[in-house]
Amino acid sequence: MSNVRKRAMEAVLEAAEQDIEETFQENKITDRESEEADEAVFDVAILYAYRVFVRICEQQGIPADVHLFAELSADLAEEMEAEGEQE
Mean pLDDT of 54-65: 93
Q: How far apart are CA 33 and CA 44, in angstroms?
A: 16
83 pLDDT band (50/70/90 cuts)? confident
Residue 2 has what pLDDT? 85
CA distances from 38 to 32, 59, 87 (A): 8, 32, 24
**What is the extent of the structural domain holding 79?**
3-86
Q: Does 86 have pLDDT greater than 90?
A: no
Q: What gap in Å lies between CA 3 and CA 40, rounded to an integer?
A: 30
Q: How many domains does the chain have?
A: 1
Closest CA to 40 of 50, 28, 52: 28
Determine the Cα–Cα distance for residues 39 and 57; give it in Å rounded to an integer: 27
Average of pLDDT values for 1-5? 86
